[in-house]
Amino acid sequence: MKKIWILILVIASLAIGIYVGRTIFGSSQTAGIQVEGIDSKQQYTCGMHPEIISDEPGYCPICEMKLTPIRKDNTSSEGDKGKIAYWVAPMDPTYIRNEPGKSPMGMDLVPVYENDIAGSVIRIDPITSQNMGIRMMSVEKRQLTRTLNTLAHITYDEKKLHSINSKVSGWIEKLYVDYEGKSVKAGEPLLEIYSPELVAAQREFISALKNYERMEDSSLESARKGADDLLKAARDRLLLWDISEKQIDDLRKTGTVGKTMILYSPADGYVITKSVIEGDKISPGMRLFQIADLSTIWAIANIYDYELPFISNGQKAKLSMPYLPGQEFIGKISYIYPYLNNKNRSVEVRIEIPNKNMTLKPNMYGAVSIESRLSGDRLVVPSQAVIRSGIRDVAFVSLGDGKFMPREVRLGAVGENDMVEIVSGLNEGDVVVTSSQFMLDSESRLREATGKIRAQMASVTRIKEVEDKDEPGHAEVEHPETEMKQEKMDREMMEHEQSEMEIDEGERVYTCPMDSHSHVVQYRPGKCPECGMKLVPADETSGRTVYECPMVEDSVVSAEPGRCPRCGMKLVEREIMNKEQMEQKLKKEAAESDSALSGVYTCPMDSHAHVVQHGPGKCPDCGMKLVPAEETSGRSYYTCPMESHSHIVLGEAGKCPECGMKLVKKKIEDKEK
């Protein structure tokens, strides 16, 4: 009896322990299961075809790949909007702020909740995130800087170039500067010119001078004024011919006409062009010398168009030469050319550099470094944090708890260390993904597309359930996956039947013999889904009309007009005829075929039946003379089913070169038959 009571106490203790355990631990486990398993049933999809969604595991009906389970996101209930992710302008979705406020148009910002954007938000556990190598960085404000490094070539300062030209005709008696590259000073003689015009001008000046001296003490004011005007005119004539003031004063003092006159250098510099030698005859307008002042030179650098925001006049630039190591030449940007070089898509920038020691020489090449910074602090992120698709730019923002959300951004200038300016789409303090974001992008797009397909399929399934409830005897709803699999099997069966049968005039259509069910048409035999009667060939029910897709490979037939659900082309009307009507049609088409073959020639050799062309000629394979196609009965040719392209006649199967439709096979009948 005592053992029985001990056994009862043990059983009671076990029962109490089980009850207490379930009370303490059961609620949390049940809650977890409810969130992940009860609220939503596990579904499966194909990795290659995300539109395939099934409630049970299996294989894709399209590619036969094994279906994979769809991962579920733990989201809040439908009535709870969740936490506010950000605030956005109602008229500009790229204007995003972390706090409420006003948009640039003065409208109140609208809150966007995490549940509203859950379709594209993905969640990754920390272990997976670490294995993927996801790194993140905060969006911050800083001054955007950039150091532009480019090449430049040295050239002359065009403002310090001087050209020495002749203004009179004559001969060079003596050449003081007899080679290019010679250094000259301002006022240094360049050459002596003998010119009859200069000799005559000197004589006129001396004559005018003597006349002025005689009339200087004259009592007639008009005579004195006339002599003074004549002297000034003779003097100005000499000045206009580049005769210096000193030479004219010497001529006034000596009163002797010189045979030659000397031309002097107008500036300091180097002779870079010498076009004459002693004894040459010169004429007015002829260039004699070109002198360049090299105390300042120009460095012409090429800047790409996307770097122009960092360039402005007055900026300091550093020039270094590969053959002058350790030396730097400091200059400043003096001009930005107003056009773009079409070959390398760059803009030329002029940099003025002092050249006191004449170290820099024209036509040298050097490296230019320009340090620049944009005004004000700007939002910046690493360039690798932005995914550029060509249509839009996207950055992934971390929402915390392993959640990531794609956000469209607008980009500005690219600065130092590949930092890019964010014009709109992000806020200061946002955490963005800087690596492995391409995997996040593909996952986000897949989930977004899958969500849309699932919603669309759910709506289609609900419509079918309503329709089936209205029809008695149809209580079961076929799953879309089953329909697609059946459709694939039917398509394969039709293709197999087409490969076994050679049909020149199109597919054979089957329909229900009941006139009330004439809308039931298909390409294969079977039973009427409405009355269960066996389908008969449509040519046994003359008078009916069906509509077919002009693309033979689509194999679509309907009892009502419309468009093909596969290729979108308009269905073509086809009249169902009996045997006699079909024979008449074939005779008519044969006559039309003869007219279509009129003017078409082919090779008489059966092995070269593929040689078909308009007009006579010779076979390119055997060299035999081509014969009219209608004389080769029994052969087949291919033509376009479109009447407007009936002139297309080929000897081999293929597609119409004008519309792309599949060519139809036709046979050349014997005229005697």
DSSP assignment of 308-329: GGG--TT-EEEEE-TTSTT-EE
Residues 6+ apart with CB under 8 A from 57: 44, 66, 67, 69
Q: Does domain 147-157+293-373 have CATH number 2.40.30.170?
A: yes
Mean pLDDT per 10-residue run, the chain (673 residues)?
A: 55 55 39 36 74 80 77 47 70 72 80 61 73 83 87 93 88 90 90 86 84 76 80 84 80 81 88 91 89 93 88 91 89 92 89 91 92 85 85 85 84 84 88 78 61 51 49 45 53 50 52 80 83 80 75 70 76 70 65 61 80 81 81 75 71 77 71 48
* Whole-number Å distance between alpha carbons of 1 and 669: 111
- Classify the C-alpha dihedral 588-590-594-600 as positive or negative: positive
The per-residue pLDDT for 9 is 59
CA distance 102 to 564: 51
pLDDT at 76: 41
Percent helix / strand / coil, the chain, rounded to 5: 30, 30, 40
The type of residue at 551 is M
Chain CA centroid to CA 170, Å:
65
Domains 87-145+375-447 and 147-157+293-373 share a fold: no
Nearest Cα neighbor of 268 from 296, 287, 243 is 296
Q: How many CB atoms lie within 10 A of CB 206?
A: 17
| pLDDT score, position 273 | 92
Whether 372 and 415 have beta carbons less than 8 Å apart is answered as no
Residue 474: which of 464, 484, 459, 486 has the closest Cα?
A: 464
The three-class DSSP label of residue 211 is helix
Q: What is the rounded radius of gyration, in angstroms, for the C-alpha atoms of the chain?
A: 48
pLDDT for 473 equals 45
The token duo for 124 is 């990754």
Phi, psi of 588 (to 5 degrees): -65, -40
Strand, helix or coil for residue 359: coil
| 95: helix, strand or coil | coil
How far apart (Å, rounded) are the C-alpha atoms in residues 554 and 316? 70
Tokens of 308: 């122009």
pLDDT value, residue 7: 54
- State the alpha helices, DSSP H only, in 473-526: 480-500
How does DSSP classify residue 108? B
What DSSP character marks residue 143? E
Q: Please state, in angstroms and rounded to a whole number, the distance separating the CA atoms of residues 393 and 222.
A: 88
Query: In terms of C-beta density within 10 A (0-12 exposed, 13-18 middle, 19 or more buried), how is residue 376 classed?
Result: exposed
Task: Give CA–CA dist 670/606, Å, rounded.
Answer: 16
Phi, psi of 410 (to 5 degrees): -115, 130
Residue ranges with strand state E in 549-648:
557-558, 572-575, 600-602, 612-614, 627-628, 636-639
Q: According to the model, what pLDDT value does residue 651 have?
A: 73
Handedness of CA 197, 198, 199, 203 (dihedral sign): positive
| b/e map 158-187, b = 16+ CB within 10 Å | eebebebebbbbbebbebebeeeebebeee
Residue 24 is predicted with a pLDDT of 40
> In sequence order, what are the residues at sequence separation of 6 or more whose Cβ sits closer than 8 angstroms to the Cβ of residue 474?
468
**CA–CA gap between residue 335 and residue 458 (Å, rounded):** 66
Provide the 3-class DSSP secondary structure of residue 246.
Answer: helix
Q: Which CATH class is domain 87-145+375-447?
A: mainly beta
**Spatial separation of the C-alpha atoms in residues 385 and 431, rounded to whole Å:** 10
Rounded Cα distance between 619 and 627, Å, is 10
Domain boundaries, the chain: 87-145+375-447, 147-157+293-373, 167-292, 507-577, 587-673
Tokens for 329? 């030449």
Q: Please, what is the angle between helix 245-254 and helix 221-240, to 10°?
A: 130
Where are any strands of DSSP class E within 114-139? 122-123, 136-138
> What is the rounded CA–CA span in Å between residue 293 and residue 295?
6
CATH number for the region 167-292 comes to: 2.40.50.100
Give the span between the Cα atoms of 337 and 314, in whole angstroms. Answer: 14
pLDDT on residue 247: 81
Give bridge partners of residue 261 from the DSSP assignment.
193
CB 395 within 8 A of CB 407: yes
